[in-house]
């Protein structure tokens, strides 16, 4: 009901201005959705804060506002008579015929009432970001699917979105890995896929241990980094082979999860790092401290009470993550063709990096690298935990590989499906079973994550996420299947009826829930919280199921049949679109 609420807000502001033209305070109607159905559709609380400056009782102020509203024909065409409640709340109910008209409009609109933004500007969403020579693990799950869902919502709203995969493909890790491989598996540095990624991960662990324990190896590794950064052809070839191998393995996961990304690793920004130092120096922010070049943060102190530094160049002349991130910010906000020309840059990383990004963002702001009106945002998320509340690990204590986690989800979904088919004495093809199990398994994993407030940790449970009841993907998918079943039984969901008529409370409850979709999408776009969309889709499914269970559809009277089929169709369209924005495919049969 976003367009209706916007019209109502404008009418309220005009009424307040007419009622109190002498007021020298802001006249904000404080319009919000009603907290309970019995209060109507909206509630305006703007009379309460006016009591003190106007020196009148809030109910008296509300009465004058309502008188002005009822003198406005545009308002009376939109709402029933307002009700004043409590100390001065104004409860507002949209006319039934206007609600029915909104449903009719959405039936013919593939965007389901969600307007495209005007004056759209490029948005960068930085997410996933695995490290080369390492397998994607469960820790990459949240960044990948949260980032993808946010990108989908922003794209749907009409923003040009650049989905960036800022992979760790540069730095000391390559120096130590290449040094180790030269000694234990030189063929991996000369021939593509000479060792598989699992072996490469094991080699990386060995190299890291040697780097931590052996000073000579550490020195040789640092020399190898210098060679790589200096463009040594042998080192660059080895680096390229390692990156290509990891990239192909990452892509298998992305394809499986239906994730689109443009890779732009840390190495991309290497040529721009000296410019970061020059820019900070020109802005008079750069300070040399113990040989390192840094920027001291404002308002952030360490335990000693002194300002904390963001180091941008180490005492040995090397750069670090902060330098790379600052170079990335400059490039992403920079005008094309030397930059991306973004007006909003979103980083989807774990909450443990919050302090790092807060420091980097402050430095970029003080250096003048964020254009006026542009937005630079960190989207933090918590840990994936086991059911014991501890960090999710295998029985051997290793980090869970993302590939294994997805495999198990699909396997469990298949087991559940075969058991259900046996109980129902249904015979289905193997192709059907594999398709449904794959769709449900991956949907369950995605939805279980996205339905949580991303800021908090969440406990991973296959049993919970695959359940047919509760706030789960299978429950939502089943609602879509249920509606598809209506069509299979002869209900014409494609038909439209310009004269929709509703009489049952369950119908009106479903109408009102369906019309919330546009406001929910706008909220997710602004606040970057996918769980708001999940909560809405779950509530919509519950309201639809109550409607379906309590009100006849196919057996309805002829005058009610078309209107109820229209509600079913709009519900299915809304669920499909909403789940699609979460990166979740739907099914017509389960």
Three-class HEC string of 188-232: HHCCCCCCCHHHHHHHHHHHHHHHHHCHHHHHHHHHHHHHHHCCC
pLDDT for position 37: 86
Mean pLDDT, residues 552-571 taken together:
91
Find the mean pLDDT for residues 91-120. Answer: 93
Confidence of residue 205 (pLDDT cuts 50, 70, 90): confident
Q: Where are the domains of the chain?
A: 2-94, 123-166+266-381, 172-258
pLDDT of residue 203: 84
The pLDDT of residue 229 is above 80: no
Dihedral sign computed on CA atoms, order 34, 39, 41, 47: negative
Helices (H), 375-516: 402-423, 430-450, 462-465, 473-488, 505-514
Average pLDDT over residues 429-444: 97
pLDDT bucket at 237, cuts 50 / 70 / 90: confident
Q: Which two tokens stand for residue 447?
A: 């939805």
- Most confidently modeled range among 27-36, 204-213, 313-322, 352-361: 352-361
Any idea which residue has 């379906």 for tokens? 548
Nearest in space to 546 (alpha carbons), one of 509, 516, 575, 578: 509
| Confidence band, pLDDT 50/70/90 cuts, at residue 24 | low
* pLDDT tens, position by position, 398-427: 778 899 999 999 999 999 999 999 999 999
Choose between 121 and 476: higher pLDDT.
Answer: 476
Q: What class, spelled out in words, does domain 2-94 have in CATH?
A: alpha beta
For residue 150, what is the enclosing H or E element? helix 139-156
| Highest-scoring range by mean pLDDT, 129-138, 269-278, 456-465, 576-585 | 576-585
Give residue 348's pLDDT band: very low, low, confident or very high (50, 70, 90): very high
pLDDT at 493: 75
What's the pLDDT band for 165 if we cut at 50, 70, 90?
A: very high
Distance of CA 372 to the CA centre of its chain: 25
Strands 287-289 and 123-126: unpaired
pLDDT tens sequence across 472-502: 999 999 999 999 999 888 777 776 655 898 9
Tell me the per-residue pLDDT of 34-62, one tens digit each, with 9 for 90 and over.
988 889 999 999 999 888 888 899 999 99
Percentage, residues of the chain above pLDDT 90: 68
pLDDT at 149: 98
In whole numbers, what is the pLDDT of the chain averaged over residues?
Answer: 91
Query: Which residues are paired to 313 by β-bridges?
Result: 293
Q: What are phi and psi of 565, to 5 degrees?
A: -65, -35
Identify the band that residue 119 occupies on the pLDDT scale cut at 50, 70 and 90. confident
Whether 106 shows a pLDDT value over 70: the answer reads yes
Give percent of the chain above pLDDT 70: 98
Q: What per-residue confidence (pLDDT) applies to 450?
A: 97
Give dist(CA 272, CA 509) in Å, integer: 56
> Does residue 584 contact residue 473 with C-beta atoms inside 8 Å?
yes
| pLDDT recorded at residue 25 | 67
- H/E element, 311: strand 307-313
- pLDDT confidence of residue 397: 64
pLDDT tier at 22 (50, 70, 90 boundaries)?
confident
User: Which pLDDT score, from 0 to 100, does residue 259 have?
Assistant: 97
Rg (CA), the chain: 29
DSSP SS3 for 285: coil
Which residues in 508-522 are b (16+ Cβ under 10 Å) and which e? bbbbbbbbbbbbbbb
The answer to whether the Cα torsion of 429, 431, 434, 440 is positive or negative is negative
At 33 the pLDDT is 92
More confident residue, 29 or 195: 29
pLDDT at residue 517 tops 80: yes
Domain 123-166+266-381 CATH (choose: 3.40.50.2300, 3.90.320.10, 3.40.50.620, 3.90.550.10):
3.40.50.620
Kindly give, in sequence order, each residue whose CB lies less than 8 Å from that of residue 136, ignoring residues fewer than 6 positions away: 130, 144, 249, 250, 253, 401, 402, 403
Q: How many CB atoms lie within 10 A of CB 422?
A: 9
Q: Do residues 361 and 333 touch, judged by C-beta distance below 8 A?
A: no
Q: From CA 300, how far away is CA 206, in angstroms rounded?
A: 38
């Amino acid at each position: 009901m976003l367009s209706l609420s916007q019209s109502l807000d404008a009418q309220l502001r005009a009424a307040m201005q007419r009622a109190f033209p002498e007021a020298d305070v802001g006249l904000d109607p404080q319009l919000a959705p009603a907290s309970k159905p019995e209060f109507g559709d909206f509630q305006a609380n703007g009379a309460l804060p006016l009591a003190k400056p106007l020196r009148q009782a809030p109910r008296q102020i509300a009465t004058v506002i309502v008188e002005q509203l009822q003198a406005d024909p545009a308002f009376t065409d939109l709402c029933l008579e307002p009700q004043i409640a409590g100390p001065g709340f104004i409860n507002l109910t949209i006319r039934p015929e206007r609600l029915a008209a909104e449903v009719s409009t959405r039936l013919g609109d593939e965007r389901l009432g969600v307007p495209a933004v005007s004056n759209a500007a490029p948005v960068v969403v930085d997410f996933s970001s695995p490290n080369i020579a390492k397998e994607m693990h469960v820790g990459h799950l949240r960044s990948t699917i949260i980032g993808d869902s946010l990108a989908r919502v922003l794209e749907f709203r009409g923003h040009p979105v650049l989905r960036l995969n800022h992979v760790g493909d540069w730095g000391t890790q390559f120096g130590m890995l290449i040094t180790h491989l030269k000694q234990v598996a030189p063929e991996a540095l000369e021939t593509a896929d000479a060792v598989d990624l699992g072996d490469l991960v094991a080699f990386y662990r060995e190299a890291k241990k040697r780097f931590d324990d052996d000073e000579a190896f550490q020195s040789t590794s640092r020399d190898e980094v210098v060679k790589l950064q200096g463009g040594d052809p042998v080192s660059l070839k080895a680096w390229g082979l390692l990156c290509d191998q990891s990239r192909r393995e990452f892509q298998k996961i992305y394809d499986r999860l239906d994730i689109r990304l443009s890779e732009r690793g840390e190495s991309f920004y290497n040529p721009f790092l000296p410019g970061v130092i020059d820019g900070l120096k020109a802005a008079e922010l750069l300070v040399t401290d113990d040989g390192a070049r840094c920027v001291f943060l404002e308002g952030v102190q360490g335990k000693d009470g002194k300002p904390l530094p963001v180091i941008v160049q180490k005492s040995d002349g090397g750069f670090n993550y902060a330098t790379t991130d600052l170079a990335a910010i400059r490039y992403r906000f920079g005008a094309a063709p030397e930059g991306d020309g973004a007006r909003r840059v979103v980083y989807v990383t774990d909450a443990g990096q919050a302090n790092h990004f807060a420091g980097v963002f402050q430095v970029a702001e003080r250096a003048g690298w964020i254009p006026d009106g542009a937005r630079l945002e960190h989207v933090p998320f918590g840990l994936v935990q086991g059911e014991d509340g501890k960090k999710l690990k295998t029985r051997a204590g290793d980090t869970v590989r993302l590939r294994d986690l997805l495999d198990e989800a699909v396997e469990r979904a298949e087991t559940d499906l075969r058991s259900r088919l046996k109980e129902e004495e249904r015979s289905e093809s193997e192709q059907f079973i594999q398709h449904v199990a794959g769709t449900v398994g991956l949907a369950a994993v995605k939805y279980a994550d996205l339905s949580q407030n991303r800021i908090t940790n969440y406990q991973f449970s296959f049993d919970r996420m695959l359940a047919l009841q509760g706030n789960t993907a299978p429950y939502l998918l089943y609602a879509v299947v249920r509606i598809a079943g209506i069509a299979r039984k002869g209900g014409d969901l494609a038909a439209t009826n310009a004269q929709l008529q509703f009489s049952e409370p369950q119908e009106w409850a479903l109408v009102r829930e369906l019309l919330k979709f546009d406001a929910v999408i706008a909220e997710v776009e602004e606040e970057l919280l996918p769980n708001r969309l999940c909560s809405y889709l779950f509530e919509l499914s519950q309201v639809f199921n109550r409607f379906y269970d309590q009100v006849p559809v196919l057996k309805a009277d002829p005058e009610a049949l078309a209107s109820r089929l229209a509600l079913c169709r709009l519900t299915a369209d809304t669920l499909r679109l909403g789940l699609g924005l979460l990166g979740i495919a739907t099914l017509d049969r389960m």
